[in-house]
Amino acid sequence: MEKPIVIALDGPAASGKGTLARLIADQYALAYLDTGVLYRGVAWLLLEDGNDPNDAALAAKAAKNFDIEKIENADIRTRKVGAAASVVAANADVRAALLEFQRRFANEPKPGLKGAVLDGRDIGTVVCPDATVKFFVTASADVRARRRWLELSPSRPTLEEATVYKDLVERDARDAARDDAPMTRADDAELLDTTHLSIDAAFAAARRVIDGVTRRCS
Ligand code: DC
């Protein structure tokens, strides 16, 4: 059987990695996993039960019992859940509990698909260190905050851009400073700075890299 193609995209919040991951998945017939959903899901379940995301034992238990179906209709995209996700993500037991699911998703392609794209913070470094292609997608904090604010403000007209900026910067700092699987660029990851790039231009740049690597490997 042919080895599955695995594309890893890591980077800070609102860098554009999710949009890119979806486009890449469509272009190359790959399954897509937004791994942030898993951490947001665990955080949402804890908050829903009135628990503190800082409670390490409860967070670990929620991650061990995690099932994606439990959060099917949950509103996991709120600021509160984002911040709580970053807190539970610093818990090594939570990360260990979610690791196997992510690796299986990457290595066992769905019927008819050639592999998978995963986006997150530690895909190229921890989850799939042998990924076919790795990207570290980033952009300036100002630009990322503007993008996220434009995304959220239609449904939250009172939300201020400065608040979104503060949330992002706080979350990035926590995600990058934790001991276990911190957000960082893998040595062999291609840096993709989208600060001044349209999504089309970023996608074209990513395609050039992927086509170059897959041509060499085939
Ligand atoms: O990508 P996101 O904003 O949905 O992720 C929410 C939080 O989950 C983020 O602040 C850090 C954490 N996360 C992580 O630690 N590792 C991943 N692979 C994905 C997300």
Distance of CA 85 from the midpoint of ligand 1 (Å): 7
Structure-token pair, residue 72: 């099917």
Tokens standing for 114?
Answer: 């050639």
> What whole-number percentage of the chain has pLDDT above 70?
99
**30 and 113 in contact (C-beta within 8 Å)?**
yes
**Cα–Cα distance measured from residue 79 to residue 161, given in angstroms and rounded to the nearest whole number:** 13
- Number of helices (H), then strands (E), in the chain: 8, 5
How many residues in total does the chain contain? 218
So what's the pLDDT on residue 214? Answer: 85
Specify whether the CB–CB gap between 41 and 66 falls below 8 A.
yes
Q: Copy the structure tokens of residue 49.
A: 């039960």
Over residues 17-43, the pLDDT tens digits come to: 999 999 999 999 999 999 999 999 999
Among protein residues, the one whose CA lies closest to atom 2 of ligand 1: 36
- Pocket of ligand 1 contains residue 95 by CB under 6 Å: no
Q: What is the pLDDT of residues 71-102, one digit of tens each?
A: 999 999 988 999 999 999 999 999 999 999 99
What integer pLDDT is reported at residue 6 of this predicted model?
Answer: 98
Q: What is the pLDDT of residue 1?
A: 61
183 Cα–ligand 1 center, Å: 9
CA atoms of 146 and 143, how far apart (whole Å): 5
**Does residue 84's CB lie within 6 angstroms of at least one atom of ligand 1?**
no
Domains and CATH numbers, the chain: 5-217 (3.40.50.300)
pLDDT, mean over the chain: 95
